[in-house]
Amino acid sequence: MISNQYDELMNSEFDVREFILKNFVQANFEINYKKIEQSMPQIAQIQSQTCEDIASSVDNNLEDYVEISTQLTSLQSQLDNLTLQFSNITDIIVLTQDNLQQRIYQINVIVENLKLIQNLQYSMKDLRKLINVLESVDFSKGMSNYNLLETSELIVKSRQLYTELDKSPHCRQLMLQFDLLQIIQQNQCQFQNLLEKEFVDCLQNFNSIKFACILRSFQKMQLNKTPEKLLVQFLLKPAFDMAFAKLNKNLLTKDTSNLEQFLQSVLQIYENNIEIAKVETETFSFKNILVELLYIYLSTKECVNIYSLGVLDLFQQNYQNIQNVKQTLKVNFEKGSEVEKKFMEKWNLSTYFSMRQAEIIKKLESELSIQLTNNEYNFHLVLQNIIENCFSQKVYISLLRQKFYTLAIQIITRFCNFIKSNKNSIQTDKIPIIINNLSKINLSVLQQDIIMLQLDKIRSVISELIDIAIVQIKIECQQNLEPFSGIPAKFRMTNRDMPNQPSNFCINIFKPLQSYLLKLEDDSTKKLTCEKVCNTTLERFQVIKKQALDTCDKNEELMAKMGVKKNDALDNQKIRMQFQLDEEEIKNIMITKLYQ
């Protein structure tokens, strides 16, 4: 009601603004108090009337106001109830979501378990197939190179499958039930016996390709030490025993040595088996095995005197002769050798140097004193001869080079101190001669040997130069691999026979490298160049092979999904076989034609 009266007042003809301007505000904006006083009764009347109207409105509409308040209270209660219900619904949704997530996780676990079971079933089937194939092999007969490699692959794969299946209790029970482990071990044992027989036969009737395949088969089966043992047992040890017997097992006495004669026999063993020595793998080196066996023989009680320091020249001669054999054969134990380590511990090199040092210093002081006493004054010759003696073949040991350099400096220092301390004893007319002689001292041996220390830095530069020189050779060799990308097209839907020989373009791969090697003279540089180019080229071949075989795998999966039946000689098998033959041929070229 109040609002209605207010609206009526605002809509009436009474203009409040105009009323104030006319009655209260003068032209200079000052308030006219007189007019305000005259208008007070009228304002009071309006105020009184307004209060009466408000009171009347409250009286007339009190029930409505109370009803509005009640409805507002009820509305608040309903809102609180709705809020509670919404909270309950939210809790239910959250709980439902958690349950769904837990259920999804359980379903995923079930799916993964089903996949695992399915994979185990496939693995079990594959294992049975492999065992059936291996059981059909006649291990009593010789095998071709390819069959050796393929059989070793099958045996390794059967062991891997067995290890994988053994993690499942159910599969383990099945394998125990059918004695699969015993069968696998029996096949492995039979094949190992065959490999050992083939290896021994190959030592007698050597064939480099056959030998390399046998070594590769041993390596695949992780029998890396077996070829070494067989080589020692059937070839090296009999030869060593024969050479040792010729010396009547009296290799050394305390003051004489026929060690050099025995070492020549060892080198002759190497020369007699040079073709075998040319075939090396990551785990087999004829030269390393030969040198380690030499160390073992020289560590026996018959050879105890070679380490004796009774005669220093003999000690140094024995040590140097053994090192010369190692250098002649270019033996390098890259991963270290426990046999060599134990052998080197027998040589008391520190004591040898100390004795040599005392001997040389004593000789220096003695000869200088003799020169001074006899008024000969050939001091420069004494110094030069003493230092040259330090680095002579009968005294110097390269492993002690730092100590010998220190000794040379010590000799020069003692020489200078001797001249200074005895300068007043020298005849005056002889001093110019001594000065001229000292100015002409030529320590050529020392200078050359110091230069030899820089060879490692030079070798490093050579390696960097090789990297620059063979960039184009690598590119050309890898370009010669492009025909291998066409192998899948060669056999895909062409009805060609199963391949039984490598591709004819294998021989062309390394022709750029072979032409370049003819320009090199140093064998170590040739070997380093071969390793860099061959490794890079072989890695590129593996990439091409993988791309092709991945495509074969995808085709087989697609054929399986479409339900297409596989023939006995699938195109994919032909492709795999061709790549296998080509890879063997490439490695054979690397071993027999390049690394030689």
Q: Where are the domains of the chain?
A: 2-98, 137-215, 224-347, 351-453, 456-594
Q: Nearest Cα to 290, choosing from 332, 342, 236, 247?
A: 236
CB 590 within 8 A of CB 583: no
> Residue 124 corresponds to which tokens in the numbers above?
């079990």
Q: How sure is the predictor about 429, in pLDDT bands with cuts at 50, 70 and 90?
A: low
How confident is the model at residue 6, as a pLDDT? 46
Determine the Cα–Cα distance for residues 285 and 266; give it in Å rounded to an integer. 16
What DSSP designation does 499 have? P
Query: Best-predicted range by mean pLDDT among 69-83, 253-267, 337-351, 424-438?
Result: 337-351
How confident is the model at residue 233, as a pLDDT? 92
Structure-token match 């087999």, residue found: 284
Q: How far apart are the first and last CA of the chain?
A: 119
Q: How sure is the predictor about 590, in pLDDT bands with cuts at 50, 70 and 90?
A: confident
Structure-token match 């009466």, residue found: 52
Burial class (CB in 10 A: 0-12, 13-18, 19+), 237: middle
426 φ/ψ angles, rounded to the nearest 5 degrees: -85, 140
Structure-token match 């696998």, residue found: 184
Determine the Cα–Cα distance for residues 72 and 85; give it in Å rounded to an integer. 20
Determine the Cα–Cα distance for residues 260 and 267; give it in Å rounded to an integer. 10
How confident is the model at residue 366, as a pLDDT? 94
Query: Best-predicted range by mean pLDDT among 355-359, 383-387, 542-546?
Result: 355-359
How confident is the model at residue 455, as a pLDDT? 44
Amino acid at 401: R
pLDDT higher than 50, residue 28: no
3-state helix vs strand vs coil in the chain, percent to 5: 80, 0, 20
pLDDT tens profile 247-257: 655 555 556 67
How confident is the model at residue 593, as a pLDDT? 76
Where would I find the H helices in 300-378? Answer: 312-329, 338-345, 349-373
Count CB neighbours of 517 within 10 A. 17
Determine the Cα–Cα distance for residues 579 and 136; give it in Å rounded to an integer. 25
Calculate mean pLDDT across residues 279-285: 88
Exposure letters 440-460 (e unless 16+ CB within 10 A, then b): eeebebbeebeeeeeeeeeee
Distances (CA, A) of 213 to 147, 527, 532: 10, 22, 23
CB 524 within 8 A of CB 464: no
Q: How sure is the predictor about 234, in pLDDT bands with cuts at 50, 70 and 90?
A: very high
Query: Best-predicted range by mean pLDDT among 51-55, 221-225, 464-468?
Result: 221-225
Structure-token match 């009171």, residue found: 55
pLDDT tens profile 117-147: 666 666 666 667 767 766 667 767 778 887 8
Q: Nearest Cα to 590, choosing from 497, 513, 494?
A: 513
Determine the Cα–Cα distance for residues 431 and 443; give it in Å rounded to an integer. 22
Calculate mean pLDDT across residues 290-312: 87
Question: Who has greater pLDDT, 439 or 311?
Answer: 311
199 φ/ψ angles, rounded to the nearest 5 degrees: -65, -50
> Residue 283 corresponds to which tokens in the numbers above?
């785990």
Burial class (CB in 10 A: 0-12, 13-18, 19+), 219: middle
Determine the Cα–Cα distance for residues 125 and 182; give it in Å rounded to an integer. 17
Determine the Cα–Cα distance for residues 152 and 125; give it in Å rounded to an integer. 19
